């Protein structure tokens, strides 16, 4: 068989094929309790049977489950790309999806946001978890979009499949009229916009229009710890922070006591440059599913806003019509699961090609062209992300294929010039066989202007990258 034969990816995990697993799909919208019920099953995992493991898409989610399980009396360790917290006598583990151990036995596993199995960037990580987890019972949580696909995959692996559907626990109401000005903002509101600079602009405008209001901010380029701290301030009624201004980062990973979601705009930048370089030509409407995910955060159960439910509106009448249509639109089914070949398979394929000078990008492109795959169930994903990183790395850096693949999956903001320059420096150090420190100079004082804050976020991203690399290449990056 050729190394490009992907017709039976479930056979990459022989331990998981030795027993018939029970897969329970907890499906429903945001704020429906689906994840809560899965985590309750995780708490009951039998330590003698292997204990329990959680796998989620974000470090914030893994950290939240880690804290929740330990608070409930379950000894739980934490494993993410950048952090390891090994708890003595741990029976449970909480992980980001790429880090979940598939080589050992578990009693109960939880795989969160299962609809991301169709993601063009990371879908392969969910396919790996679903096929590879050696667990008596696997609880998968997410939108119902992927239920039919997961059931088909369970049929191939011979696993039992059970579907549990959930309804939203509190009502979600779209308001009749758009909001006309910032004086209409009230306590518990979350204003959503999609540019980092616009988030800070909106914060200033709201605080100017409402002298008694203070705003928290959340967006993807802030460190996870900072986002969590801003969420705690917003959720604390005594903090003095009443309003949240955020990007689509609020759609996942943070528990937020939001009463109403206000869309400042529904256009999002879709290019590869920074989100500040908005020229009006690279903007496209936010996908319906993302509108649902963000709007669904309003009216969370067991908060001050749960009795009356959540509200949704916009700052423009046309945007409100779009939001209303998005919430009413049916979800597209996730029909295929993402696959990406492990480094070992890519190395075998490269050997079959017989061209020692061929770079990783060309090897992956050739693999995608040549691979034999069941296109009714799977597709090769992640190759675009590899190509983007390869394009950013200097041509004269010579890494072996396995190392280059790891660098291509490292958490680096490719729109940030400083981060890309440091990615090249770290790759060059690895290729040269030397040792390398972080080489990041931090400012001595607090940021006094917005550009200082952006600079801090950039440097945090590079330190994050260094930590990630240090766990994989400790001999090259020893200063973790």
Show the DSSP H helices in 393-474 as ranges.
Answer: 401-408, 417-432, 450-472
Does 273 score more than 70 pLDDT?
A: no
Q: What is the pLDDT of residue 362?
A: 93
Q: Are strands 76-79 and 84-85 parallel, antiparallel or unpaired?
A: antiparallel
Domain 172-328, CATH among 3.20.20.70, 3.40.50.300, 3.40.640.10, 3.30.930.10: 3.40.50.300
What confidence category does residue 277 fall into, taking pLDDT thresholds of 50, 70 and 90?
A: very low
C-alpha distances in Å from residue 12, one per residue of 129, 133, 255, 335: 12, 11, 36, 22
Q: What is the pLDDT of residue 271?
A: 56
CATH architecture assignment, domain 9-165: 3-Layer(aba) Sandwich (3.40)
What confidence category does residue 132 fall into, taking pLDDT thresholds of 50, 70 and 90?
A: very high
Closest CA to 338 of 114, 120, 98: 120
Does 22 score more than 90 pLDDT?
A: yes
Residues 6+ apart with CB under 8 A from 109: 42, 52, 53, 54, 55, 100, 129, 133, 135, 137, 138, 139
Which is more confidently placed, 450 or 150?
A: 150
Q: Which residues on adjacent β-strands are paired with residue 93?
A: 53, 77
Q: What is the pLDDT of residue 272?
A: 47
Domain layout of the chain by residue ranges: 9-165, 172-328, 340-472
What confidence category does residue 479 fall into, taking pLDDT thresholds of 50, 70 and 90?
A: confident
What confidence category does residue 191 fall into, taking pLDDT thresholds of 50, 70 and 90?
A: very high
DSSP code string of 114-142: GGGGG-TTTHHHHHHHHHH-EEEEEEEEE
Reported as a single tens digit per residue, the pLDDT across 359-371 is 899 999 999 999 9
Q: Helix, strand or coil for residue 288?
A: helix
Q: What is the pLDDT of residue 275?
A: 40
Q: What is the pLDDT of residue 62?
A: 96
Residues 6+ apart with CB under 8 A from 37: 26, 139, 164, 166
Does 300 score more than 90 pLDDT?
A: no
Average pLDDT on 439-453 reads: 91
Query: Whole-prediction pTM value?
Result: 0.93
Q: Which residues on adjacent β-strands are paired with residue 312?
A: 174, 261
What confidence category does residue 480 fall into, taking pLDDT thresholds of 50, 70 and 90?
A: confident
Low-confidence winner among 181-185, 271-275, 386-390, 461-465 (lowest mean pLDDT)? 271-275
Residue 71 has a CB neighbour count (10 Å cut-off) of 9
Low-confidence winner among 73-77, 87-91, 250-254, 330-334 (lowest mean pLDDT)? 250-254
Given a contact cutoff of 8 angstroms between Cβ atoms, the answer to whether 475 and 469 are in contact is no
Mean of the per-residue pLDDT values of the chain: 94
C-alpha distances in Å from residue 151, one per residue of 110, 178, 207, 336: 16, 41, 50, 12
Does 302 score more than 80 pLDDT?
A: no
CA-angle at 446, arms to 443 and 449, nearest 5°: 100
Q: What is the pLDDT of residue 1?
A: 60
Does 291 score more than 70 pLDDT?
A: yes
Does 293 score more than 90 pLDDT?
A: yes
Reported as a single tens digit per residue, the pLDDT across 305-350 is 666 789 999 999 999 999 999 999 999 999 999 999 999 999 999 9
Q: Helix, strand or coil for residue 192?
A: strand
């Amino acid at each position: 068989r050729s190394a490009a034969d992907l017709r039976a990816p479930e056979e990459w995990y022989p331990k998981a094929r030795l027993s018939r697993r029970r897969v329970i799909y907890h499906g429903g919208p945001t704020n429906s309790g689906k994840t809560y019920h899965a985590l309750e099953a995780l708490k009951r995992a039998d330590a003698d049977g292997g204990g329990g493991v959680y796998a989620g898409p974000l470090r914030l989610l893994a950290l939240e489950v880690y804290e929740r399980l330990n608070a409930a009396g379950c000894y739980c360790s934490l494993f993410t790309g950048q952090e390891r917290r090994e708890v003595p006598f741990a029976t449970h583990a909480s992980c980001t999806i790429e880090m979940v151990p598939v080589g050992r036995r578990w009693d109960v596993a939880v795989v969160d946001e299962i609809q991301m199995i169709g993601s063009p960037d990371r879908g392969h990580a969910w396919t790996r978890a679903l096929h590879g987890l050696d667990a008596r019972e696997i609880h998968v949580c997410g939108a119902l979009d992927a239920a039919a696909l997961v059931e088909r995959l369970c049929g191939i692996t011979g696993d039992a499949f059970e579907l549990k559907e959930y309804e939203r626990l509190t009502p979600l109401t779209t308001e009749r009229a758009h909001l006309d000005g910032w004086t209409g903002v009230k306590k518990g509101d979350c204003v959503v916009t999609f540019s980092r600079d616009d988030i800070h602009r909106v914060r200033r405008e709201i605080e100017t229009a409402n002298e008694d209001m203070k705003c928290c901010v959340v967006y993807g380029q802030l460190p996870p710890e900072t986002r969590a701290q801003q969420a705690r301030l917003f959720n604390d009624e005594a903090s003095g922070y009443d309003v949240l201004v955020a990007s689509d980062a609020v759609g996942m990973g943070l528990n937020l006591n939001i009463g109403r979601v206000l869309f400042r705009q529904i256009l999002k930048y879709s290019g590869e440059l920074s989100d500040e370089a908005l020229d009006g030509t690279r903007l496209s409407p936010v996908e319906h599913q993302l509108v649902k995910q963000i709007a669904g955060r309003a009216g969370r159960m067991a908060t001050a806003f749960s009795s009356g439910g959540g509200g949704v509106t916009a700052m423009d009448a046309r945007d409100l019509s779009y939001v209303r249509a998005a919430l009413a639109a049916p979800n597209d089914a996730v029909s295929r699961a993402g696959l990406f070949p492990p480094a070992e398979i890519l190395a075998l394929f490269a050997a079959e090609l017989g061209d020692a000078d061929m770079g990783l990008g060309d090897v992956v492109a050739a693999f995608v062209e040549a691979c034999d795959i069941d296109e009714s169930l799977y597709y090769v994903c992640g190759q675009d992300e590899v190509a983007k990183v390869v394009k950013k790395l200097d041509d004269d850096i010579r890494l072996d294929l396995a190392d280059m693949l790891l660098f291509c999956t490292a958490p680096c903001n490719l729109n940030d010039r400083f981060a890309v320059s440091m990615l090249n420096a770290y790759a060059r150090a690895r290729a040269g066989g030397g040792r390398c420190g972080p080489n990041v100079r931090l400012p001595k004082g607090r940021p006094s202007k917005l550009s200082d804050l952006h600079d801090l976020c950039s440097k945090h991203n590079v330190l994050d990258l260094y930590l990630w690399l240090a766990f994989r290449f400790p001999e090259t990056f020893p200063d973790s």
